[in-house]
């Protein structure tokens, strides 16, 4: 029953095609699209927390993305070997409308896009505790996840499991970040102060 349900959801999302919407979703799904967004987030982190703490924040984000991405791509995908809906060997591909001929790779469970975007979104929400940041990150992550289904390269369960993986890592890494920043003098760890030599 679940299979039929998520097929119906995917076909409904993927089937709502239009020339303008195709290009919007293609743009939203692109990794390079969001480079300016990441730069602005980095600048905001530096402004709000200072450059010393920013180093630890960026290291934490890097760890989250690496863990989420590798867990999905290296551990889970080879174990399940679930074909993308757009893959020619998948019978569902006959009902998928492609955009710019894009099919993605062979396996799609779980979605690395979902894992990475949800991981970053959850971490930034926990880090800042700002309402506008929460709204921004949820909107951004949801748009990217939706675009992957619109392009026909992921089932809803690919998105849900990938997002869950990203959220779990975000919470765990944030907890480590919180412990470090509250138990130690971060400035002395990242950039030790020079002390005059003893006479």
pLDDT digits (tens, 9 = 90+) for 49-85: 998 899 999 999 999 999 999 999 999 999 999 999 9
pLDDT higher than 60, residue 36: yes
pLDDT higher than 90, residue 97: yes
pLDDT higher than 70, residue 21: yes
pTM higher than 0.85, yes or no?
yes
Could you give phi then psi for residue 91, rounded to 5 degrees?
-55, -25
Mean pLDDT over residues 169-180, rounded? 95
Beta bridge partner(s), residue 107: 83
Residue 105 CA neighbour count, 13 Å, CB half: 12
Q: What is the pLDDT of residue 2?
A: 84
pLDDT higher than 70, residue 193: no
Could you give phi then psi for residue 107, rounded to 5 degrees?
-105, 145
**Mean pLDDT of all residues belonging to the chain:** 92
What percent of the chain is modeled with pLDDT above 90? 84
pLDDT higher than 60, residue 188: no
* Token pair 């975007």 in the structure block, residue: 117
Three-class DSSP category at 83: strand
Mean pLDDT over residues 122-146, rounded? 98
Three-class DSSP category at 116: helix
Distance in angstroms (rounded) separating the CA atoms of residues 145 and 137: 12
Could you give phi then psi for residue 185, rounded to 5 degrees?
-80, 100
Please say whether the dihedral angle defined by the alpha carbons of residues 13, 19, 22 and 24, taken in this order, is positive or negative.
negative
- Give the CA radius of gyration of the chain: 20
pLDDT higher than 60, residue 185: no
């Amino acid at each position: 029953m679940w299979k039929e349900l998520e097929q119906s959801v995917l076909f409904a999302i993927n089937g709502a095609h239009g020339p303008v919407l195709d290009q919007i979703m293609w743009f939203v799904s692109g990794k390079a699209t969001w480079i300016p967004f990441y730069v602005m987030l980095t600048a905001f982190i530096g402004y709000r927390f200072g450059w010393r703490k920013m180093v630890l924040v960026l290291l934490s984000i890097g760890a989250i993305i690496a863990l989420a991405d590798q867990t999905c791509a290296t551990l889970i995908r080879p174990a399940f070997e679930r074909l993308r809906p757009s893959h020619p060997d998948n019978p569902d591909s006959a009902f998928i409308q492609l955009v710019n001929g894009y099919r993605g790779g062979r396996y799609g469970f779980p979605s690395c896009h979902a894992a990475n975007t949800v991981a970053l979104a959850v971490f930034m929400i926990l880090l800042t505790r700002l309402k506008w940041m929460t709204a921004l990150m949820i909107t951004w992550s949801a748009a990217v996840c939706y675009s992957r289904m619109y392009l026909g390269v992921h089932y809803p369960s690919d998105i849900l499991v990938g997002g869950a993986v990203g959220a779990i890592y975000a919470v765990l890494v944030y907890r480590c970040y919180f412990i470090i920043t509250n138990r130690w003098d971060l400035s002395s760890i990242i950039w030790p102060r020079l002390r005059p030599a003893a006479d």
